[in-house]
Amino acid sequence: MTDAPTMPGRHPLLWPLMATALVIGWSSGFVGIRFTNEEASVVLLLFWRMLLSGLILLPFALVFGPRLRLGAVLPQVGFGVLSMFLYLGGFALAIEQRVPTGLVALISDLLPLAVVALSQPLLGERLSGRQWLGTAIAVAGVLIVSLDSLSVGTAPLWAYAMTVGSMLVFALASVLHKGRRSLHMPVHQSLCIHTLTGALLFGLCALAVGDGLRPPMTRDFAIGMAWLVLIATFAAYSVYYTSLRLFPVAKVTAAIYLSPPVTMIWAWALFGEPLTGAMFVGLAVTLAGVWMTSRG
């Protein structure tokens, strides 16, 4: 993989800090879902997550940054369909069809592997032998962390295909975002368009299945929404999109391998779920793999 050239003024700690923020934000989605999953259906949850995120960003998107023109907005709408509706919605549908949550999480966390496979032919970003070895080690760490929660389940075959397809869709979207300058607008504007696109589509789905659009007026739903909007959406996606512009796409997504063990730390700190020895072993193995993959 050929790293992006060092730009004048880029601090050597920039990537470690951004990678840390990305992992914390990416893994935090579990917390919001944990608070809200008994309060609303997954589709309704995703509708309100997208709608609140988009409405908060809308005034800033209209006032700050270049004027939003149709030619710039339409590619962002397409990217929003891929990265918000198909990616998040595909996993949500798989879970509702009783694909085991551990298996869904494992397939989701293999996103960097798919990005690596796509970035070479589409972007010309090649990994060295050492970086391929680091990727293999990181995947092994993810498998160790996920081993205790894995099961096959009895969901229909198409639901399993949906999980893989959702992950591949987001991998493709990430590579396209890196390679197409037409998608490069200020992050607050692009994220606003993506989330409002997702809100429209998830809202239509909620109406179609009879869930309605009224949110549960409970404390846990409000806490979960605040967490999903501020951390799992604003922090995670803003850092992700910004990182894609500054660093090679495979390097950025490699940090996501650390999401499973960090998610377990969230679960231990906030909900008292036990930590296992396998988690610490997996974390150490994954850290070693990500370090090897991310080196220039």
Query: Confidence band (pLDDT; 50, 70, 90) for 261?
Result: confident
Query: Confidence band (pLDDT; 50, 70, 90) for 50?
Result: very high
Query: Confidence band (pLDDT; 50, 70, 90) for 90?
Result: confident
Is the separation of the CB atoms in 236 and 245 below 8 Å?
no
Could you give the CA distance from residue 52 to residue 65 in angstroms, rounded to a whole number?
21
Q: Does 29 or 100 have the greater pLDDT score?
A: 29
What pLDDT score does 7 carry?
Answer: 45
Query: Confidence band (pLDDT; 50, 70, 90) for 25?
Result: confident
Question: Domain map of the chain by residue range?
Answer: 37-294
Could you give the CA distance from residue 186 to residue 207 in angstroms, rounded to a whole number?
32
Is residue 51 over pLDDT 90? yes
